[in-house]
Structure 1
Amino acid sequence: MLKTESPSSSHPELDKYALPELISCFIEDQTDAVNAVRLAAPQLARAVAEALPRIQAGGRLIYVGAGTSGRLGVLDSVELHPTFSWPHQRALALLAGGPSAMFVAVEGAEDDEPQGALDLRALQPTANDVVLLLAASGATPYVLGALREARLAGALTLGFANNPHAPVAEQADIGITLDTGPEVISGSTRLKAGSAQKMALNTFSSALMVKLNKVYGNLMVDLKASNAKLVRRALAMTMQAGAADEASARAMLEACGNHVKLAVVALRLQLPVEQARIALEQADGNVRQALAEGKASSLA
């Protein structure tokens, strides 16, 4: 029996617990998720290192999964755009059963290995693409079909599983095993197995975006200010990183089309917007490098 499917020996009478004890049990069990991701840190670092040159060369992130794992992949792909202005067409997600399975379970879809291959093939994967294959069991047929197709295309494959020696991890270029063990509710991998997958995906994609110069210090200066909350956040970050008062930051942001990175460079170097844009482009979007080179140029 898979470890994720095994009954928890710690809580055989879970249904008898008083409510405070029941809540504490669920919360405490999540520490296993944190520990599992911590142990997978070397594999996650390797995954980012190998994905980076492919993404810099124009590759895409393609998430593949079924059920909870697939929905977590969709979530990570969708959130990259508002957080880092990552293009929608370069963060794609395949969910067994199609888009409607995000809201209603499509029974049997995860067992269709040929469909996984067909869905991946329809995206015309290339050697620069990075395919993230998500399966708590590690043996979901739909995901394994997509894995096979991704390898045929020469894409970098990252296999995420919650059981040791799982096919999706062993057959991928880089296997990331999140060994969370038995669930409090036996077999319900939407619990700590899902939490571990969410943390691992957050860690991978966020680290990748940092290395793609989407962050300055610890500020997400490449966000897409697409709603009132994010507009306020953009203003606060521009004031902080640009060392500017609110009025100056607001005016510069407006001139820069709400592009925080550009506004920060323009404010800090006291440059017109177009010159700041050139400085940022020459630094490959790296705010710190653009500021250093700009200051060095002004001192020369």
Structure 2
Amino acid sequence: MPTTIAELARMKAAGEPIAMVTCYDHASALLCQAAGMKVLLVGDSLGQVVLGHRDTLSVSVGDMVRHAAAVVRGAPDALVVGDLPFLSYTSPAQAIESAGRLMREGQVGVVKLEGGRSIAPTVRTLVDFGIPVMGHLGFTPQSSHQIGVKVQGKSAEAAAAIIADADALQAAGACAIVLELIPAALAWAITERLTIPTIGIGAGAGCSGQVQVWHDILGFSGKPPFRHTRRFGEVGAAITSALSDYAGSVADGSFPTAANAATMDEAVVTAALALADRD
């Protein structure tokens, strides 16, 4: 049975922590499905960790649609959330068009966008059109050139602004809010204040749930960039070792063996060569 936003609301009310992980392709989604992950985020972070860009700003709606559809096909039981990328929701009309593509073609269950009070009217418009929306406050990667990559909301004034943004998103109909890189005490206070779930990333254990980037938790690359990440495996090292073994086996002739190939009677080969020569 696919996870729904109603299930997230129930988990928040019951105090059941929500685990969410980023996912960008079909193969990864199959593993998430097998692991029983309830919520997957097709984040615009794919621009960095999958497409090799330096930030998220180069990601297009088409990129998001393509990757989201692959994830949905691989994890039919998960609630798949898709990011609206940079400059794809500058007006309510554009947001409807972008979110409509992500839901219609990408088949996501929820769209996520960054910002607070300034985009609350857009959130309300999307919700009124039947599009579930997840908010994103604190460090917002699409604004990284303005605010820097650092913890947000450390002063009373800055914290109050994030609280007001969270109130506005909930009032506009958002079904959940990601809280990224804000102090744990502030994230806890917002979580206690809201009736909708909060999903933390670098925001402490007081949120309704947590989200982490696939490549960080599985150890695909070097040292994780932030202290809030934690490796739960060393998949990258295992893959590197396997690829090295494969290349070595090809080089020394130990792969492939006769067991890795189909057989054919020599008489058939001789007859085929004769026919080819005759033709």
* TM-score computed with the length of structure 2 as normaliser: 0.31
With CA pairs under 8 Å and 6+ residues apart, which has the higher RCO, 1 or 2?
1
Richer in helix (by share):
1
User: Which structure has the larger Rg over C-alpha atoms?
Assistant: 2
